[in-house]
Amino acid sequence: MSDYSKMREQMKSGAGFVAALDQSGGSTPKALSLYGVEPTDYEGEEAMFKAMHDMRARIILADDFTNAKIIGAILFERTMHDEIDGTPVAELLWNRRGVVPFLKIDKGLEDEANGVQMLKPMPGLEDVLATAKGKGVFGTKERSVINHANPEGIAAIVAQQFDVARTVLAAGLVPILEPEVNIHSETKAEAETLLEAEIAKHLDTLDEGVDVMLKLTLPDQPGLYDGLAQHPRVLRVVALSGGYSTDVASAKLAQNAHMIASFSRALTEGLNVKMTDAEFGAALGSNIDKIYQASI
């Protein structure tokens, strides 16, 4: 069985969750600060990204970061070009940890219009996808945001997600479509109902044999996305925490039997740069187990 076939099987039926290690430039200072590395501890963007890479490397090399509980991991583009212990990160993830590598490809969000924030243009996307494929990356992730239950906005955001997905599929990769619904939206439940219907409509237009994944906000109505999870074009539906605490997100996830977690903040909660390796491993292992239990 090829690596691709093994990765596909793991993403389709493996028990566990998808680790989100894809904090980008805008969210990096906050993520580092939570880890105990303050802006005064580094000077300039390169030093900031080096500190973030060191944190990610420490996580990936931890004893519990394996496919026993983690089936995939989403990487920031800089991380894909980096190495850990002299090995390209995607290669290390799959060959040493048994974890399927994904790549965040979006370049941020447009200003809100019609209640949504569309993806910014992604110049050079085909080149990025070709590089990712060459480095052993299995799939991609692209995030846009729904703030209000606006039918026109939601239709546009889903159409854009599927346009990008087709470009990703053409490059031989599996896209994770992520039209996030803002957990603070006053019309969250209505937005989710509209979103589910739009996604279902577009899934039916995909060619037979095509695989996509979905990354969706935990819905107000438990089980809302069960039908999407069982669609023949959908490999897996993963849940984003969206700002919910780990405990709340895990409780909501437990109400959605056909979703697994893809949390970022919950994974790194309580980790600190000053911890000994034993303390760090224990704290990370506890987080991994909590998310894993909610996912299965």
Query: Catalytic residue numbers?
Result: 178, 215
CA distance 213 to 238: 8
Q: What is the DSSP letter of 109?
A: B
Structural tokens at position 100: 């399927």
Burial class of 43 by CB neighbour count within 10 A (0 to 12, 13 to 18, 19+) = exposed
Instruction: Please give the C-alpha separations between residue 204 and each of 199, 201, 231, in angstroms, as whole numbers.
Output: 9, 6, 9
Q: Which residues pair with 104 in a beta bridge?
A: 141
Q: What is the DSSP string of 243-284?
A: T--HHHHHHHHHT-TT-EE--SHHHHTT--TTS-HHHHHHHH
The residue among 61, 68, 53, 137 whose CA lies nearest residue 100 is 137
- Decide if 126 contacts 162 (C-beta within 8 A): no
